[in-house]
Structure 1
């Protein structure tokens, strides 16, 4: 039996994968992955409970059903489980995780409702009171990592790593943990109970306060390679350009400069940009047409608030050991090749809040399977809050780079695939929303002719999408920089409202 009163390792459930780390500051109380085929130590009330396929399943659909475990003396703790709704018998049904259970009819619980909501509730002698609620898409057959924390009078619940509901209540101070359904079938797995206070391992680089609004974040903010982050043209003059000649002269100027692009400027192919530049669109519809920007051993450059249309090659190419490049709030339309390439030993790049409007090859990280000599140990890239809007592929396609942090992006109807990690790349896919994506992630099997990569996924939402293929482990981005993860459920609204040119 895998229920244990004490553990020597902290077990963390992330998007259906059980990860075991070193001992933490708080004592784990219980862990059950049901891999031994039984549910010894659990007591049930109502429903039809069984263990099969490595999960604890409740298949009855005609009543309430509850299963409890642990000690009535447990006080402040977190209970976490991987919850997969199997069926809802009618409207407004739910599956739930339970804490501080006094009996089969008195406890706190967090419910995933068929009405697309998450609710934090108190049940007293069978009478329920809602303490807090939030919207959440709840899909039959999709797994959710549901966490309920009870600490003193504070109650909080998270889904896929993002806290969604919280409240203060003093009715119950101690009790068992458990799971429950209401006229619904479900599978419960990887149940972990641990005392409040546990934390992930301390990063090798202590986190700092998040950057102020308008400043680079992610890898572009990291102090490395002689720079304290990415500041672009700060400290230099500001010029406004509205002709091809003015733009090309400005980006070829030595020294810091802020270049304000006004109107539509047509350029050919990819034009080189020297270090220490901010290139930012101003006014109505600032556009770069026909060509794009090329970074060759360049650094400390910001590209913001521009629409790139019809680039005859790549719209933005970050290459040849360029570093500290921030590509933010741009729109990419119909490039002949890629929207953004990050290749040939480039490093410390952030791609944020961009709109890829029905592009084909959206983003490439490393250009070739034969580029190990230039790319291994480089290509650290952050990709967040981008709208991959019916774009076909490469969101991104990665070789060698680690970590490539893909978080809080909105993937909509991507025809070929979402993210591909190949050639031993290390990619963390976190807190994204995938809708209508047949292949959200490739990794273990490689992609096309490229060998396998490593990919960890957690806290993502998949709607009308296939599974995300995972493999191996990946260096945590938090060892380099701090960040705040939005709930994946909020990503479509937030990203569509804020991503792209004209939305600074």
Structure 2
């Protein structure tokens, strides 16, 4: 297709009709999102959508000790993060457990978690192949910069379900930025900025983990800014449906990879200078991918298509923006300080 003129943030005021709301980059629709769109909003596994710590106490963490105390407590909590909190490496490679029914939200644009990451899920147990009654669930993480972890920035594992990861900045983790694996389910990753990072977001543990992962790992990615994040944006195994819509890809080696019979529905995204925007012939068994209304500019390969994938509307309602608006709307609205 012929090259299209690139719309950079602040160059053009693009009005986008999203349902009944009309917004511009200076007043993005996502500022009004009080609940997730996508799989995190689906009623399933005894959980009605994702509400986080709603109904529990609201506390403010300004120190490492306070933060680690609050995220480990039982019951619902809304945990407000103020300033920079350093997560120690300790004996867990810097990964710190978050319990069920938590909202972790930054105050303003300067809340930061540095040096470690958040683990949302029970300890790894390869013998467990179905969701246990005590699986971690109902967690929201919003408006925080996570950087410099010695492992993952966020790791969702072991049948955790109903997680909403929204309006965060992710960079410079040693492994994944947001990894979702080992039977986790009903997750939405929205309006985040990923930059200065290599292996961005993995869905599915490995090619031999079908016993835990097959039929689960339903994830929605929408309005994320993959800003030079090199690969795994996302890379998927075994999921029956990962929905990737209205994301902005800028200067990536590859965008999306569907493997091990995963089903990906890819629509309304904008790919600029991406070597391989979407792949099904990648590593391991082939995946499945259906694509609709995407725009590719200065890309070396087309999006690979194969097989059939369930329509996401069989699970939830949503309205996709025109792909042409994505290069203006997403960078203006993604990341911290926008809610």
Question: In 2, distance between residues paired with 1:85 and 1:334?
Answer: 35
**1:260-339 correspondence runs (5 A):** 260-267=80-87, 268=89, 269-296=94-121, 297-339=135-177
Match of 1:423 among 254, 257, 260: 260
**1:45-60 correspondence runs (5 A):** none
- Using the size of structure 2 for normalisation, the TM-score is 0.85
In structure 1, the partner of 2:182 is 344
Q: Does 1:213 align with 2:51?
A: no
In structure 2, the partner of 1:138 is none
**Per-residue Cα deviation, 1:130-186 (whole angstroms, up to 9, x for no partner):** xxxx98xxxxxxxxxxxxxxxxxxxxxxxxxxxxxxxxxxxxxxxxxxxxxxxxxxx
CA-CA distance at 1:115 after TM superposition: 8.6
Question: In 1, distance between residues paired with 2:64 and 2:193?
Answer: 24
- Using the size of structure 1 for normalisation, the TM-score is 0.58
Distance 1:489 1:270, change over 3 A: same
Question: In 2, distance between residues paired with 1:492 and 1:459?
Answer: 14
CA-CA distance at 1:217 after TM superposition: 1.4
**Per-residue Cα deviation, 1:230-288 (whole angstroms, up to 9, x for no partner):** 00000000000011110000001100000000000000311000000000000341000
If each structure's strand is expressed as a fraction of its own residues, which one has the higher value?
A: 1
In structure 1, the partner of 2:286 is 452
**Maintained 8 Å contact 1:418/1:440:** yes
Q: What SS does the corresponding residue of 2:244 show, helix, strand or coil?
A: strand
Distance 1:492 1:219, change over 3 A: same
**Maintained 8 Å contact 1:219/1:348:** yes
**Maintained 8 Å contact 2:104/2:140:** yes
Q: What SS does the corresponding residue of 1:417 show, helix, strand or coil?
A: strand
If each structure's helix is expressed as a fraction of its own residues, which one has the higher value?
A: 2
Distance 1:286 1:456, change over 3 A: same
Question: In 2, distance between residues paired with 1:374 and 1:213?
Answer: 32
Question: In 2, distance between residues paired with 1:115 and 1:295?
Answer: 41
**Maintained 8 Å contact 1:263/1:283:** no
Question: In 1, distance between residues paired with 2:103 and 2:49?
Answer: 14
**Maintained 8 Å contact 1:266/1:288:** yes
Question: In 2, distance between residues paired with 1:471 and 1:247?
Answer: 45
Question: In 2, distance between residues paired with 1:499 and 1:364?
Answer: 20
User: What RMSD, in angstroms, separates the aligned Cα atoms of the two structures?
Assistant: 2.1
**Maintained 8 Å contact 1:263/1:284:** no
Q: What SS does the corresponding residue of 1:379 show, helix, strand or coil?
A: coil
Q: What SS does the corresponding residue of 2:330 show, helix, strand or coil?
A: helix
**Maintained 8 Å contact 2:109/2:143:** no
Q: What SS does the corresponding residue of 2:116 show, helix, strand or coil?
A: strand
**Per-residue Cα deviation, 1:275-323 (whole angstroms, up to 9, x for no partner):** 0000000034100001111111310000000000101100000100000
Question: In 2, distance between residues paired with 1:307 and 1:429?
Answer: 27
CA-CA distance at 1:459 after TM superposition: 0.4
Structure 1 stretches of 4+ moved >3 Å = none
**Maintained 8 Å contact 2:167/2:190:** yes
Question: In 2, distance between residues paired with 1:317 and 1:228?
Answer: 22
Q: Does 1:463 align with 2:297?
A: yes
Q: Does 1:484 align with 2:309?
A: no
Question: In 1, distance between residues paired with 2:117 and 2:105?
Answer: 14
Aligned length: 300
**Maintained 8 Å contact 2:158/2:184:** yes
**Maintained 8 Å contact 1:315/1:340:** yes
CA-CA distance at 1:357 after TM superposition: 1.1
In structure 1, the partner of 2:308 is 473
Larger radius of gyration: 1
Q: Does 1:433 align with 2:277?
A: no
Distance 1:360 1:225, change over 3 A: same
In structure 2, the partner of 1:222 is 42
Q: Does 1:374 align with 2:199?
A: no
Question: In 2, distance between residues paired with 1:85 and 1:489?
Answer: 14
Specify every segment of 5 or more residues in structure 2 that has no aligned partner in the other structure, as ranges.
7-12, 15-31, 122-134
